Amino acid sequence: MPAPISPPRTLYDKIWDDHVVEEMEDGLALIYIDRHLVHEVTSPQAFEGLRNAGRRVRRPDCTLATVDHNIPTVSRDNFKSVDTFVTEPDSRAQCLAVEENVKEFGLTYFGLKDRRQGIVHVIGPEQGFTLPGITCVCGDSHTSTHGAFGSLAFGIGTSEVEHVLATQTLLQRKGKNMRITVDGELTEGVTSKDVILHIIGLIGTAGGTGHVIEYAGSVFRSFSMEARMSVCNMSIEAGARAGMIAPDEVTFEYLRNRPLAPKGELWDRAEAYWRTLKSDEGACFDIEIHIDAADIPPTITWGTSPQDVAPITATVPDPTTITDPGKRAAAERALAYMGLQPNIPLQDISVDKVFIGSCTNSRIEDLRSAVRVILAAGPNAQVPQNVHAMVVPGSGLVKQHAEAEGIDVIFKRAGFDWREAGCSMCLGMNPDQLASGQRCASTSNRNFEGRQGAGGRTHLMSPAMAAAAALTGKLTDVRKFLGANNITEAPKVKLTSALEFLTDPVLPPPEPQRPTHTTASSGAGTEASSTSGVPKFVVLKGVAAPLHLSNVDTDMIIPKQFLKTLKRTGLSNALFFALRFDPKTGEKTDFVLNRSPYNRANILVCDGPNFGCGSSREHAAWSLNDFGIRCVIAPSFGEIFRSNAMQNGMLPLPLPADVCKELAADAEAGVELEVDLEKQEVRRPDGKPAIPFSTDPFRRHCLLNGLDDIALTLRKEESISTFEQRRTADWPWLDGFGYKGRIPVSAPKINRKTEW
Ligand SMILES: CC(C)[C@H](C(=O)O)[C@@H](O)C(=O)O
Ligand code: SF4
């Protein structure tokens, strides 16, 4: 009998299938995680959970930690210790906590004295920690970046970070497949950033919700790895938890000889496997989108959502021309926040700050692309006195590489501020922030209200366009600037290879300083109750607060300054902080949650879609919980928020938009609602019919019984070990290969500065 022919599969299907440890009921699966990146903001509570339960980190060889969000980007020339260098106490506490935790649990760590330190999503690829075909997670929404290598990479919340540390697995439900194909030739001045901004403008910030996006077509094929990373990075802004591009020669070339990439015979085996990682002919995509490259202009954002995009040649949109009332209200609110009048040309808008950096655009090619604009502007090009333009390389190695090419000199000569690596003004958890009312041309990925500083105004764009804005002091069409010069032309600098900088010894992870119990023994036979105590959710009756907003991002639910905590509690006042408290007086505003009876609401009814989009901060769920809100009803949710909420015993309840509107009206009228998870219905008083809903059976079971995922997963020790044995046999390069004490690549002499 001929062997059954397996149906064609997508790239995502293949990676998923290769990582299923155990299929469970209702499409839920336990999947194995190959790579875990850890940073200081979303890990303290996870390590604390391990410590309390006496658990160890299961795979230190597959875990890499750094510090990036909180750190100052001033010179480290006089760096002595975190204690003296990080002056803001809460930031310092998080940086010190990660240093303690990596020692205690025996993890490889790139700290502030290590030139490999940098933004998690820059250092993973740089080191070859990120590889094709892997599953990769981090307590950070922009983990989607790593999908550029043909991996399944996605952001998780802190509870899931703890789950991965303890079990090296995650409980997941498979998403749907979406393919975005861009074919043709990009026009002058259009870069990968313009492409992804254009895509987000087209499909919206919820367009990819529930899907993994595969980027296909000649444009992505022609992109370098760095350009592909910029695209996959912003998949989360398109609502998708992950984006990916099939690996090819460009990928292999980038990875060959990276410190943690396989070498010799193992490389050959790995490459043979990686070559199978592409969507089969005829594979089924739930959504297909085709874009003609020629239709993509140099693009920037004008509003407070990444979907608020426009060609740089356009004018500020006029809300009165928008027919949908919800969208019109959102545009009006955005323009008021951004301090913009409708119909004025975007290029008439002045900027106070320019930020070139972030995990989207802080790699060597991004810096080169900005420098090309400066060079094209001529030897006298200068940032005007009233503009502050910062350049923040993504890692210490990017910085060193740029300095070897003389890129820092070009920036500095033109008046740019050349800094040390970190997240910096992308979200301003460190001192790099916008003052209220300041406007910034930024290469980062989020333009949410208050993102770069309370009251700060962000316009997202490519590094080339940010450089152009820095030189003119206004939002500027980079094409005008370049005139006849094509932006893709190389600058007249001597280029060096990134590999010259990847010379640090690759050592195995250190031994834990205080060994904790083994996973197997701590898991066996224990009750599946949470280390942090997941409360049960059965029936919830009480005041429902109405919220008439769309795309409520987690930055809005809880701004960055409250992410510096080491605890999961004490965040009640942080909830919707910028909306609840007057920024000048600190007095309570008339925001709904400040008004009686809503100040004792335990249900939130939002009638706009995409609640909880954006950042993976579990603090959003914690602050709602602390306030007393245990159920959020909305037409749709950001995926990471949804899972974070359930990890904390809360119910995020998606209901049709018209039903949400009705319930929001009930909430306005002050009637109490009753959410019954056992019966799966929302009850209203006054004889109105109950609203039925359905929930994922596994999650419902966990919520009803207050069960915690980690303890449940630890019962599957045998399946996990069996999977690991097969993994070692089939994909031996995934066993933290690079950390096994290989002799480092020999260090060639670096040409320090180049002549100009
Ligand atoms: C701190 C972290 C939770 C967050 C994220 O998940 O995105 C941050 O990186 C951000 O960009 O807002
Ligand atoms: S989006 Fe910004 S803050 Fe978040 S990881 Fe990237 S650089 Fe850091």
- Count other Cβ atoms within 10 Å, centred on residue 650: 23
Residue 745 has pLDDT above 80, yes or no: no
Cβ partners under 8 Å of residue 103, min gap 6: 510, 512, 513
Q: Which ligand is nearest to the CA of 426?
A: 2
Cβ of 365 closer than 6 Å to ligand 1, yes or no, is no
Name the closest-CA residue to atom 9, ligand 1. 140
- What integer pLDDT is reported at residue 699 of this predicted model? 93
Cα pseudo-dihedral 451, 446, 151, 230, rounded to 10: -130
Provide the pLDDT for residue 499: 87
The CA 618 to ligand 1 mean position distance, Å, reads 10
Q: Decide: 42 in ligand 1 pocket, CB within 6 A.
A: yes
The finding on whether 102 has its CB within 6 A of some atom of ligand 2 is no
Interval between CA 434 and ligand 2 midpoint (Å): 16
| Per-residue confidence band for 1, with pLDDT thresholds at 50, 70 and 90 | low
Confidence of residue 748 (pLDDT cuts 50, 70, 90): very low
* CA dist 194 → 227, 668, 703 (Å): 11, 41, 42
β-sheet bridge partners, residue 540: 675
Q: State if residue 143 touches ligand 2 by the CB under 6 angstroms criterion.
A: no
Q: Which atom of ligand 1 is nearest to the CA of 640?
A: 6
Q: What is the mean pLDDT of residues 493-521?
A: 74
Distance 127 CA to ligand 1 centre (A): 21
pLDDT bin (cut points 50, 70, 90) of residue 737 is low
Helix (H, G, I), strand (E, B) or coil at 14: helix
Q: If you average pLDDT over every residue of the chain, what do you get?
A: 93
Q: Which of 42, 443, 617, 623 has most ligand 1 atoms within 8 Å of its beta carbon, as the pocket-test mutant? A: 617
Quick check: CB of 140 below 6 Å from ligand 1?
yes
Q: What six digits make up the tokens of 552?
A: 């409520």
| DSSP code at position 86 | -
The per-residue pLDDT for 486 is: 46
Pocket test for ligand 1, best of 141, 144, 235, 451 (most atoms within 8 A of CB): 141
**Paired tokens of 37:** 């990146």
If you write DSSP's letter for every residue of 78-101 in order, what string do you get?
T---HHHH--SHHHHHHHHHHHHH
Closest-lying ligand 1 atom to the alpha carbon of residue 555: 12
User: What pLDDT sits at residue 492?
Assistant: 52
Q: Is 328 exposed, middle or buried (0-12, 13-18, 19+ CB in 10 A)?
A: middle
pTM of the model: 0.94
Section 55-83 average pLDDT: 96
Residue 751: per-residue pLDDT: 41
> How far, in Å, is the centroid of ligand 1 from the Cα of 392?
17
Confidence grade of residue 498 (pLDDT, cut at 50, 70, 90): confident
In the 3-class helix/strand/coil scheme, how is 615-640 assigned residue by residue? CCCCHHHHHHHHHCCCEEEECCECHH
* pLDDT higher than threshold 80 for residue 533: no
Structure tokens at 748: 């060639």
> Minimum-distance ligand to the CA of 45?
1
Is residue 92 within 6 Å of ligand 1 at its C-beta?
no
Does ligand 1 come within 6 angstroms of the Cβ of 564? no
**Dist. CA 410 → ligand 1 center (Å):** 31
- For residue 730, with 0-12 CB atoms within 10 Å meaning exposed, 13-18 middle and 19 or more buried, which class applies? exposed
pLDDT above 90 coverage of the chain, percent: 88
Dist. CA 360–CA 351, nearest whole Å? 21
Per-residue pLDDT at 419 exceeds 80 = yes
User: Does residue 600 carry a pLDDT above 60?
Assistant: yes
CA distance 721 to 464: 49
Query: Which is it for the CA torsion 637, 638, 643, 647, positive or negative?
Result: negative
Phi, psi of 603 (to 5 degrees): -130, 140
State the residue for tokens 């309570």.
588
CA 67 to CA 62: how far, in whole Å? 17
The ipTM, to two decimals, is: 0.99
Distance from the alpha carbon of residue 128 to the mean position of ligand 1, in angstroms: 22
Helices 639-647 and 697-705: crossing angle, nearest 10°? 30
DSSP state at residue 165: H
Residue that has been written with the tokens 């909305």 in this structure: 634
Give residue 17 CA to ligand 2 midpoint distance, Å: 30
Nearest to 354 by CA among 450, 453, 473: 473
DSSP state of 345: B
- Report which of 141, 161, 361, 157 is spatially closest to residue 241, judged by C-alpha positions: 141
| Cα 423 to middle of ligand 2, angstroms | 5
Nearest ligand to the C-alpha of residue 428? 2
Residue bearing tokens 């077509």: 217
Could you tell me which residues are beta bridge partners of residue 588?
581
Tell me, in angstroms, the distance from the centre of ligand 2 to residue 37's CA.
13
Residue 426 Cβ < 6 Å to ligand 2: yes
Q: Which atom, in ligand 2's list, is nearest to the CA of 120?
A: 5
Give the C-alpha separation, 675 to 681, whole Å. Answer: 6
Cα 446 to ligand 2 centre (Å):
9
Contacts of 584 (CB under 8 A, 6+ apart): none
* Distance between Cα 142 and ligand 2 center (Å): 7
Q: Each residue of 537-581: pLDDT tens digit?
A: 999 999 999 999 999 999 999 999 999 999 999 999 999 999 999
Identify the pLDDT of residue 515.
58
Average the pLDDT over 320-336 and give the result: 95
The average pLDDT across 356-376 equals 97
For residues 69-90, give the mean pLDDT: 96
Q: Using the mean position of ligand 1's atoms as its centre, give its distance from the Cα of residue 141 in Å.
A: 6
> Predicted confidence band at 687 (pLDDT cuts at 50, 70, 90)?
confident
Q: How far apart are CA 708 and CA 725, in angstroms?
A: 27
Of the chain, the end-to-end C-alpha distance in Å amounts to: 71
Is residue 756 predicted with pLDDT exceeding 60? no
Q: What is the mean pLDDT of residues 276-302?
A: 98
According to the model, what pLDDT value does residue 494 have? 60
Q: What is the pLDDT of residues 632-684, one digit of tens each?
A: 999 999 999 999 999 999 999 999 999 999 999 999 999 999 999 999 999 99
Residue 754 has pLDDT above 50, yes or no: no
Distance of CA 650 from the midpoint of ligand 2 (Å): 27
Given pLDDT bands bounded at 50, 70 and 90, which one contains residue 170?
Answer: very high
Residue 487, pLDDT score: 45
Looking only at the bridges linking them, the beta strands covering 651-654 and 631-634 are: parallel
List C-alpha distances in Å: 397 to 46, 120, 328, 435: 29, 13, 45, 30
Per-residue pLDDT at 651: 98
pLDDT digits (tens, 9 = 90+) for 191-222: 999 999 999 999 999 999 999 999 999 999 99
CA distance 65 to 510: 12
pLDDT at 483: 65
Give me the mean pLDDT over the 44-59 stretch: 96
Q: Is there an atom of ligand 1 within 6 Å of 66 CB?
A: no
Residue with CA closest to ligand 2 atom 8:
423
Hey, which of 141, 234, 356, 427 would you mutate to test ligand 2's pocket, going by the most ligand atoms within 8 Å of its Cβ? Answer: 427
